[in-house]
Structure 1
Amino acid sequence: MTKHGRVIYLFGSAAPPVFDIAKVIEDAQARSFDVCLGLTPTAARWLAPQLAELERLTGHPVRSEYKMPGERDVWPEADVIAVAPATFNTLNSWALGLTHDFVVGVVAEGIGKSIPTVAMPCVNAAYVRHNQFERSVAELRAMGVRVLYGKDGFVPNQPGQGKPKEYPWDLVLDAADELASA
């Protein structure tokens, strides 16, 4: 595994596109990123059979839990953060500052550290009708997060009609590449 110059923290939530994360890691590495993979607890459970292979692919531990106080960090510092797929729960928790899990904690802190960040939701049309969703997207954008949602990003499907293989991962990596190069 070749280490690359730019470090991307790739964070995934438990939505069906997360099952394609190995390919996304390879695509990010082809763009000269050193990838550190973080998962929400449910996403980590979904990918449990693949975690060893994902660690081999990235050359870093896959993280889904906070480290213990006093433990050294096992990842290099991030040049950019990409949060995708970002579920309804992840986006709302992040916007509200509810850092109950590792992924949300790191991205919330990343705002304060001025780490360039891109996020792309993966939610169905029923979730986006909840008033908090639009407020959370607006709040994250106001804090400087590039949220790829709507005509230039993720467009929700009706419940039960998801198309995980059509999730536009390239948009996330394009934005991360641009942010890391700025």
Structure 2
Amino acid sequence: MLYLLGSAAPPVLSFPVVVEQAQARGWGVVVGLTPTAASWLEPELPLLAELTGYPVKSRFRRPGEPDLLPPADAVLVAPATLNTINSIALGITPSWVAGFAAEAIGRRIPMAVMPCTNEALTAHPQMGRSVETLRESGVRVLLGEGGFVPNPPGTGNPAAYPWAVALDAVAGA
């Protein structure tokens, strides 16, 4: 079971196609979105639930609310914004996505994170520290050649986001 967790960056709009690609590779898929990403995909949320057979998660469960999701075998956090990467690395859990990913590290669930940040955000000093923290924790961070290569601000191309690389990384985990 692959947990596909996405932040609010333009490639998240491809989630219906990415779910189908993951399923074609043999994965059952659970989708989790940050609140902003969920708002961007609001018209597609019923489709994502239908494709996966599970509700799309974008908030923490309330006390006493049952967990309807199967256990994760692997986690892919993509696209991952600077905020999400820093939150996971620092153990700050403002969203269900960051909380699940942070807990997955402690549970030793294989995880890959593929950023979607421009060169300016990637150059922020905390980004490098967070990437190093995640890598030291056993997370495969797909940043740079062979993963996501940041672009100058305002020049991103969501259609060029390397989803196949990300799916390959979790298959190898």
Q: Per the shorter chain, which TM-score range?
A: over 0.9
**1:112 pairs with 2:98:** no
CA distance in structure 1 between the aligned counterparts of 2:95 and 2:6, rounded to whole angstroms = 12
Q: 1:13 aligns with which of 7, 13, 26?
A: 7
Cα displacement (A) at 1:68: 1.2
Scaled by the length of structure 2, the TM-score of the pair is 0.98
Cα displacement (A) at 1:72: 1.9
* 1:130 counterpart residue number: 124
CA distance in structure 2 between the aligned counterparts of 1:59 and 1:162, rounded to whole angstroms = 32
**1:59 pairs with 2:53:** yes
* 2:171 counterpart residue number: 177
CA distance in structure 2 between the aligned counterparts of 1:127 and 1:92, rounded to whole angstroms = 11
**1:72 pairs with 2:66:** yes
SS at the partner of 1:118?
A: strand
CA distance in structure 2 between the aligned counterparts of 1:19 and 1:130, rounded to whole angstroms = 25
Number of residue pairs aligned between Structure 1 and Structure 2: 173
* 1:148 counterpart residue number: 142
CA distance in structure 1 between the aligned counterparts of 2:84 and 2:70, rounded to whole angstroms = 23
Identity %: 55
Q: 1:37 aligns with which of 26, 31, 39?
A: 31
Deviations 1:21-77 (A, max 9, x none): 111000000011110000000000000011011111111000100011222211100
SS at the partner of 2:28?
A: strand
Unpaired stretches in structure 1, ≥5 consecutive residues: 1-6
SS at the partner of 2:21?
A: helix
Cα displacement (A) at 1:177: 1.0
CA distance in structure 1 between the aligned counterparts of 2:163 and 2:115, rounded to whole angstroms = 11
Q: 1:99 aligns with which of 93, 104, 112?
A: 93
SS at the partner of 1:119?
A: strand
Scaled by the length of structure 1, the TM-score of the pair is 0.94
Q: Which runs of 4+ in 1 moved over 2 A?
A: none
CA distance in structure 2 between the aligned counterparts of 1:32 and 1:12, rounded to whole angstroms = 20
SS at the partner of 1:33?
A: coil
